[in-house]
Amino acid sequence: MLDIAIVGTGVVSALGCSPKEYHARMMAGECAIRAAPWDAGPGKHAWWAMIDDFNAADWMDPKLIDGTDVFAQYAFATAKQALAEADLGALDAERTAIVHGVSMGGVRALTLAQHKLETEGPAAIPRKTEIQIYPNMAASQIAMAHQLHGPSLTVTTACAASLDALGQAAQMIHYGQVDVAIAGATDGGLTIAGDPGFTPAVFYTSTLYGMVAPATDPRRAMLPFDANRRGIVVGEGSAMFILENGARARARGARILGYIRGYGTLADAYHPSSPDPTGRWEARAMEKALASAGIEAGQVDALIAHATGTPKGDTAEINAINMVHGDRAKPLPAASIKGHIGHSGAASGAMALVTGLLGMAEDRFIFNCNTTDPDPEARFDVVIEKPREMRVDTLQLNSFGFGGQNASMIVTKT
């Protein structure tokens, strides 16, 4: 069993830029999905869950803003929030790690540079585009800001990157390589303020790949575990955590939000975008997380699922959850954050953990926003309509990504 204390959190989301606001609005049933600001084409509706109240100047100086893409700015802000909450004092520069997950890195900087080249010529390309693009720049900027010389790693396992980053950081602490880690994940950063006429190419990629639901109502655009699910809504965001050796955190009297107890990760090795339809490898990742925590499936009180709202993705995960948790006398409560904020990619698992921790503290569990007709194949309790008033001492979280990246984690209240 891992003994990794979570002592700080930070979040930037379409429902607010602090853990407290984000969690409160999620529990209130707010949905951040709305019409995208770009033209989807004749007769088509396009939905987006975009962050529009983030101000980088609240978190960093103009020089740093100039040298970073939006994704790195999100990560910098969430790390700063988490460090403030952790109240660690001076960090040991070589005993503090940074492990950050991301899917694509500075895609906005790259596509904007290409747009400017084609419309205005080479002189219009922002001169710091090169350093804005690299996926490792979020972790690097955090390290430079806090003068940290420990491991600085970037994990790019698609939508599993959050839990993989947290899991790798937890293992580094467990094996004594470091005492503290700043860990989490970020994705997105496609805001258009100040960029008239610029439409990022990735806005169209999900539609062209057949992943977007043809909904005419934003409340029906993303339906986790719903029998009528049709596809995803692209979201964005960031969540970062401060992880600390449990004994060390308890000895200094830290305010501990929860503990990472187990982590499992493996590959489907099946298809670039579709999961193995049987769900067997997703189930195996869940079983590995349970084994790592030294507990049985029946000891899990609730599950925050990946649940993207796609027909194939949810079917595989339903099969996986049924394999691991489907034989209970009382069905396991399960929910996803994606009906509230869309699919925030690499950040989705970390953003789920933020609300999971806060919900554990107040004895409430999140619900599937917009889901009205749970898939009858689910042999678990798909929580809908409102938060569930319940005690959650042990929580399982799933994150499954393109390329067959499967990760699962066990978090406990004490």
CATH number at residue 218: 3.40.47.10
**Encoded tokens for 283:** 């189930």
Pair (198, 326) in one structural domain: no
Among the candidates 203, 222, 251, a domain finishes at 251
Residues in the chain with pLDDT values less than 50: none
What was the pLDDT predicted at 394? 98
Distances (CA, A) of 88 to 20, 65, 152, 242: 20, 26, 19, 9
Which of these, 238, 237, 227, 218, lies nearest to 339 by C-alpha position? 218
Count the Cβ atoms, other than its own, within 10 Å of residue 10: 29
Pair (34, 167) in one structural domain: yes
The residue segments making up the domain with residue 118 are: 4-251
3-state secondary structure of 302: strand
Pair (69, 149) in one structural domain: yes
What was the pLDDT predicted at 20? 97
pTM of the model: 0.95
What was the pLDDT predicted at 195? 65
**Encoded tokens for 144:** 């430079």
- Give me the residue label for tokens 């947290």: 166
List % helix, strand, coil for the chain (3-state, nearest 5). Answer: 35, 20, 40
Number of domains in the chain: 2
What was the pLDDT predicted at 199? 77
Instruction: State whether the Cα torsion 286-271-348-368 is positive or negative.
Output: negative
What was the pLDDT predicted at 216? 84
What was the pLDDT predicted at 170? 98
Residue 330, domain member (yes or no): yes
Pair (77, 195) in one structural domain: yes
Pair (198, 286) in one structural domain: no
Across 192-294, the runs of DSSP E, i.e. the strands, are 234-235, 237-245, 258-267
Pair (90, 204) in one structural domain: yes
- Give me the residue label for tokens 């933020």: 354
Pair (154, 247) in one structural domain: yes
C-beta contacts of 251-256 below 8 A and 24+ residues apart:
254/5, 254/7, 254/86, 254/87, 255/7, 255/85, 255/87, 256/5, 256/6, 256/7
Pair (128, 164) in one structural domain: yes
What was the pLDDT predicted at 36? 82
Among the candidates 228, 251, 274, a domain finishes at 251
What was the pLDDT predicted at 191? 67
- Tens of pLDDT, residue by residue over 343-399, are 999 999 999 999 999 999 999 999 999 999 999 999 999 999 999 999 999 999 999
Pair (181, 128) in one structural domain: yes
CA 330 to centroid of chain Cα atoms = 29
Pair (35, 104) in one structural domain: yes
Across 124-231, the runs of DSSP E, i.e. the strands, are 152-155, 180-187
CA distance 228 to 369: 14
Radius of gyration of the chain (CA): 20
Pair (218, 276) in one structural domain: no
CA distance 34 to 184: 26
What was the pLDDT predicted at 192? 59
Pair (201, 332) in one structural domain: no
Determine contact, residues 137/105, Cβ cutoff 8 Å: yes
Which of these, 372, 398, 402, 380, lies nearest to 312 by C-alpha position? 402
342 burial level (CB within 10 Å; 0-12, 13-18, 19+): buried
